[in-house]
Amino acid sequence: MEVTNHNEPGGSKTWFRKRYNFLYEKDLPAERQALKREMQKEKDPERKSEIEERISWVDKQLKSESTKNVETSILAKHKKKEREAAKQGKRPFYLKKSEIRKQSLIEKYEDLKVSGKLESYIEKKRKRNAAKDHRLMPYRRSGDNEE
């Protein structure tokens, strides 16, 4: 039996994920499908909006869990490397949150590249940033005609 130290950073979180992983693997996706089927049958607009809210909550839970899994896998890889380095007598190096974000972004781009969706993702991001820049650009007033 594995003993988890709940006092170490992330100790109780990893315990929770290991213990209740079935929620994110089976139960929430099944509940989402059932809610979608129920929403198609439902006639009452009030009940439909409740179901939509529940579906969005389930989606949010699943998405946040997947990002947490990416972060924990990055940390696990790093810890494994650090243990190996410590065995060789080197001093440990702890990852900052910014480094974790960089590595998760790199992983995301690599996944997009493998699936062939990288170009469309970059294009959408470029358009979004261009729209944001355009919105923040000061506009010219009609009375300011300098000639």
Backbone torsions φ then ψ of 86, nearest 5 degrees: -65, -35
> How far apart (Å, rounded) are the C-alpha atoms in residues 85 and 94?
12
> How far apart (Å, rounded) are the C-alpha atoms in residues 12 and 8?
8
How confident is the model at residue 27, as a pLDDT? Answer: 86
Find tokens 């506009």 and name the residue.
139
> How far apart (Å, rounded) are the C-alpha atoms in residues 26 and 16?
16
pLDDT by 10s per residue, the chain, length 147: 444 555 555 566 667 777 887 777 788 889 999 999 998 998 998 999 999 999 999 989 888 887 777 888 888 888 888 888 888 888 888 888 898 889 888 988 988 899 999 999 999 999 999 998 888 888 777 765 555
